[in-house]
Amino acid sequence: MVVSAHPEASRIGLEILRKGGNAYDAAVATGFALAVAFPVAGNIGGGGFLVYRKQDGEVGALDYREKAPKAASRDMYLDAQGNVIADASTLGHLAVGVPGAVDGMVAIHQKLGSLRWAQVIQPAIDLARKGVVLTEREASMLNGAKESFLKANKFIPNVVRDTPWQKGDVLPMPELARTLERIRDKGRVGFYEGETADLLVKEMKRGGGIISHQDLKEYQSVWRPVVTGTYRGYKVISMPPPSSGGIALLQLLQMVEPFDLGKWGWQQANTVHVMTEAQRRVYADRATYLGDPDFVQVPMASLLNPAYLKNRMVTFDMGKATPSTQVGAGQLVAKESDQTTHYSIVDQWGNAASITTTLNGGYGSKVVVEGAGFILNNEMDDFSAKPGVPNMFGLIGGEANAIAPGKRMLSSMTPTILEKDGKLFMVVGTPGGSTIITSVFQAILNVVDHGMSMQQAVAAPRFHHQWLPDRIEPEPAAISSQVRESLQKKGHTLQNRSNYGAVDGILKGKDGKWEGGADPRGDDTALGY
């Protein structure tokens, strides 16, 4: 089964599975297909994370997150007065981190794939040659980004045209097809060296960007040990730093486990209150302690220490909200060492891939590499440009996530796998910037505590709290007016928000069959056989 953000990408992944490819062949094929069919977030100019579980129980994680270029510096987004320059880390060439996606796909294929490289990339090339038929949502997203594309580029890229895009129009992608062919024929060299690298570096120079040939040549993805924990008897396997996602998710699950959420009921006042108070505390920790483990010591063991997490909830009051001004990062026991997209795959043997990949904002920096036809990320905004100043997701960071050459920016992406009784149970993840962690958290609670099916769990309306700003942000239908009132009485502020990411998951159903959950918030599609 393949569940992804686009019907064409799910179709391509499924074809690979039908041909006898394993989940990792399908993951690579789906990843390249998303770069073509879902340019708002699917990419070869961004980066991502894989969490995998093989049929024999082996687990691991691949970090193919972007890196700051060598010429990057701590205060590169500050003006002479030390203020953050508007848009500098989000729009245009200076916002771009060194892409990791292609190295990631190559590494996944080399370690875990079974089909030939050319076989898994060819369907995406064919799709790019044919051109992508736009859905209504994609046409509208492209129209919405037109001005930014024109601002970020010195030429008119294929994603822009005079008349508005309509559903059913075909987006031509001949240059992207040629770039993918170079990757097909030369592997990572087809992207990080030679013609593609020349075009990318030329594009950087044209727009004042700083990625060099050396940055590209030296980029390497990294295999990392997963972070694991348990929740009500399920084993939870997730992404370690430089994502904050896995640690934050495990913290949240441990903090709410003592409470009987299932009995209290879904989206009832006590349930929302406890979850919110846990979220507030976890995001405060995130802002202080989390960063690239190759550059800073992330105190993972302390942050997941049961005694520490119990202590974090000591100030929790069932009757009232704790204002975020009274919640800082926890005192550790000991110091120690919008757009994104997620897809979940399980093959006939029970191998699982949980992948979240991103350009950061929708269409990333909006920079299209002239002659190479792909969009570059604006992942540099995931660094903390200045301590205490929020990034585009309103997230605050500090020293641990300051910019440094070659460093990876902190992420919230949370590709996750659950086991039950030692067997694969659930594969799940989502886009959504800072809401990624709380959305994965809720998808898990929806299944484990509230008995929902995978489809119900991904579709159910959600809420989010990230410490600062100090408010619960529910989707309009997430919390009834009666529960809102009761939360307000406890001292919570609520403000609706609508831009939640599309969660895509796969679950072992009660009948023993795999059950896909494709989020109706997007064009997401679950296909299986």
Minimum CB–partner distance for residue 447 and ligand GLY (Å): 23
Work out how close the CB of 19 gets to ligand GLY at its nearest, in angstroms, rounded to a whole number: 32
Q: Which residue is nearest to ligand GLY (CB)?
A: 411
Q: What is the C-alpha to C-alpha distance for residues 424 and 433, in angstroms, rounded to an integer?
A: 27
Q: Side by side, which strands form the sheet with 352-360?
A: 222-224, 59-64, 47-53, 352-360, 339-346, 2-4, 525-527
Residues 500, 483 contacting (CB under 8 angstroms): no
Residue numbers belonging to the annotated binding site: 65, 358-360, 382, 411-412, 433
Residue number with CB closer to ligand GLY (117 or 383):
383
> How far from the centroid of its chain's Cα atoms is residue 263's Cα?
31
Residue (11 or 465) nearer to ligand GLY, CB: 465
Single out the residue of 324, 176, 300, 165 nearest to residue 246, CA to CA. 300
Binding residues for L-glutamate: 65, 358-360, 382, 411-412, 433
Tokens encoding 35: 């770069």
Q: Among positive and negative, which fits the CA dihedral 251, 256, 258, 261?
A: negative
| Residue 392 CA: distances (Å) to CA of 56, 380, 382 | 41, 11, 8
340 classed as catalytic: yes
The least CB distance from residue 457 to ligand GLY, in Å, is 21
User: What is the DSSP secondary structure assignment for residue 164, as one 8-state letter?
Assistant: P
3-class secondary structure, 508: strand
Catalytic residue among 322, 340, 356, 416: 340
**∠ CA(165), CA(166), CA(171), 5° rounding?**
60
DSSP conformational letter for 94 = G
**Tokens matching residue 120:** 């898994």
C-alpha of 275 from chain center: 21
Q: Indicate the residue type of 244.
A: S
Taking the complex as a whole, the smallest distance from the CB of residue 266 to ligand GLY amounts, in Å, to 26
At 258 the three-state DSSP class reads: coil
Residue 107 CA to residue 187 CA, distance in Å, equals: 10
CB-nearer residue toward ligand GLY: 46 or 187: 46
Q: Which CB atom, from 340 or from 446, has the smaller least distance to ligand GLY?
A: 340
| Among 227, 90, 75, 216, residue whose Cα is nearest residue 145 | 90
Of the pair 302, 412, the CB lying nearest ligand GLY is at: 412
- Tell me if 255 sits within 8 A of 281, measured CB to CB: yes
Per-residue tokens: 102? 């292609």
Which residues make up the interface to ligand GLY (CB under 6 A)? 340, 358, 360, 382, 411-413, 433
* 58/60 Cα distance (integer angstroms): 7
Query: Where would I find the H helices in 259-405?
Result: 261-264, 269-289, 300-303, 306-312
Residue 360: CB minimum distance to ligand GLY, A: 4
Burial 447-464 (b: 16+ CB within 10 A, else e): bbbbebebbebbbbebbb
Q: Which is nearer to ligand GLY, 179 or 356 (CB)?
A: 356
Please, what is the minimum distance in Å from the beta carbon of residue 411 to ligand GLY? Answer: 3
Supply the minimum distance, in Å, between the C-beta of residue 506 and ligand GLY: 22
Choose between 165 and 393: whose C-beta lies nearer to ligand GLY: 393
Residues marked active site are found at 340
